[in-house]
A = this chain, B = another copy of it.
């Protein structure tokens, strides 16, 4: 008979592409007594989560809720509710998540055109403008914060072009929401989704989304049912709305945790939080460069919450990350796709984004490199980071 040990996970410092480290208050909320999903106590928490999510998305959108799945379920929710077979969709691709958006849109039966940029670079707005001049699209999808490359996509100019064209503007903010400015109303975003385990510093399991009234109108005018029952917003809005029409059973504990994580953001203040992410990102860059390492993305397009650092020639990537994990209980991420083996992905998200953590990381990375015979100047790195 198999024997099972008591659950006893070693505490890691999470500085990879997500999950990020969790605040003790969020852990306590996770373990709060579970109540029924129609209990007045839970209905109040649902309402609070809607309001707190409106705040972090910077929107007045009525339909602002957490989807009961992870970030990718949020992506699928946004696409599947507004696309019908044969609709023309434009997807911008410069990493894994734009590629994923293409795949999901095609599964919805869309005719998809793409605008692409090399990995590690943003999509030039003028290329999107050209595509919009040539074709008529129902939806334009773009990734704000490419977790696979560490690029922050500027959105303001593109937003204007998309609105002019009449298309719905769909934005992935999985790795930006709560860490980098996301302004759904100001940027005329019609469909926006995120995940809980990045800058919100909540465990993975929910996907906050928000839809403008324009997007809701498109949903209402569909001629076919949404192909996913689980992600059908015409039913979900009645479950999360005043009607409370039973759809599925919301993940109670995860909603407790989300409330607490959003409350921490509310208390910190959104602008202060963006500023903290920016300042700590700059500290990391200074430290990394002072140690003799290089960033993979040009300064003007760097994403504060996810930093790609080039792996020097000849360095054994898995061995470095293994050493960080085993000797320091510290997780950073490896590269994905085109960037596999070429970059480390260092997350500075939410509760993980502190000066102390950056200093610890630089020290640990120095030790891992020394273990392979490469001496980096850790002292200079830490000094530069903390200055």
Chain A positions near chain B (C-beta within 8 angstroms): 2, 4, 7-12, 14, 16, 18-19, 21-22, 27-37, 39-42, 45, 48, 51-52, 68-73, 75-76, 100, 103-104, 106-108, 195, 197, 203-205, 225-231, 246-254, 256-257, 259-260, 263, 266, 325, 331, 336
Q: In the complex, how many angstroms separate the beta carbon of A6 from the nearest chain B beta carbon?
A: 9
Chain B residue at minimal CB-CB distance from A254: B205
Ranked nearest first, the 3 interchain pairs of A and B with the lowest CB-CB distance are A205-B251, A31-B31, A11-B33
Q: Within the assembled complex, what's the spacing in Å between the Cα atoms of A246 and B73?
A: 15
Q: How far apart are the CA atoms of A195 and B250 in the complex, in Å?
A: 12
Q: Looking at the assembled complex, report how far the CB atom of A334 sits from the nearest CB atom of chain B, in whole angstroms.
A: 9
* A229:B76 contact, CB within 8 angstroms: yes
**Residues in B neighbouring A12, C-beta threshold 8 A:** 33, 35-36, 39
Q: Is the CB of A260 within 8 A of B76?
A: no
Q: A107-B226, A107-B229, A256-B7 are in contact. Are A250 and B204 (CB under 8 A)?
A: yes
- Given A34-B19, A226-B107, A229-B76, also A204-B249 (CB < 8 A): yes
Closest to A8 in B: B32
Q: How far is the CA of A188 from the CA of B325 in the complex (A)?
A: 44
Bound CA span A33–B12, Å: 8
* Complex Cα–Cα for A22 and B259 (A): 20
Known: A29-B7, A35-B9, A259-B7. A230 touches B331 (CB 8 A): no
Q: Which residue of B lies closest to A20 (CB)?
A: B34
Known: A227-B107, A251-B70. A33 touches B4 (CB 8 A): no
Query: Cβ of A72 and Cβ of B248 under 8 Å apart?
Result: yes
Residue of B nearest to A203 (CB): B253
Residue of B nearest to A105 (CB): B229
Oligomer: number of copies = 2
Contact A228 B33 (CB under 8 A): no
A249 adjacent to B71 (CB under 8 Å): yes
**Cβ–Cβ contact B35 & A331, under 8 A:** yes
Measured CA separation A27–B32 after assembly (Å): 8
Q: What is the bound-complex CA distance between A12 and B36, given in angstroms?
A: 8
List, in ascending order, chain B residues with CB within 8 A of A100's CB: 229
Nearest chain B residue, comparing its CB with the CB of A106: B225
**Which residues of B lie under 8 Å from residue A14 when comparing CB positions?**
34-36
Q: Which of these, B32, B76, B247, B257, contacts A9 with CB under 8 Å?
A: B32
In the assembled complex, 20 residue pairs joining A and B whose CB atoms fall closer than 8 Å, in A order, are A4-B263, A9-B32, A9-B256, A12-B33, A12-B36, A18-B249, A19-B37, A19-B249, A30-B31, A34-B203, A68-B73, A70-B248, A72-B229, A72-B248, A73-B248, A100-B229, A107-B225, A108-B227, A204-B251, A227-B227
Is A39's CB under 8 angstroms from B203's CB? Answer: no
> Cβ of A71: which chain B residues have Cβ within 8 Å of it?
248-249
Contacts of A31 in B (CB 8 A): 27-28, 30-31
Contact call A107/B248, Cβ cutoff below 8 A: no
List B contacts of A205 (CB < 8 A): 68, 205, 251, 253-254
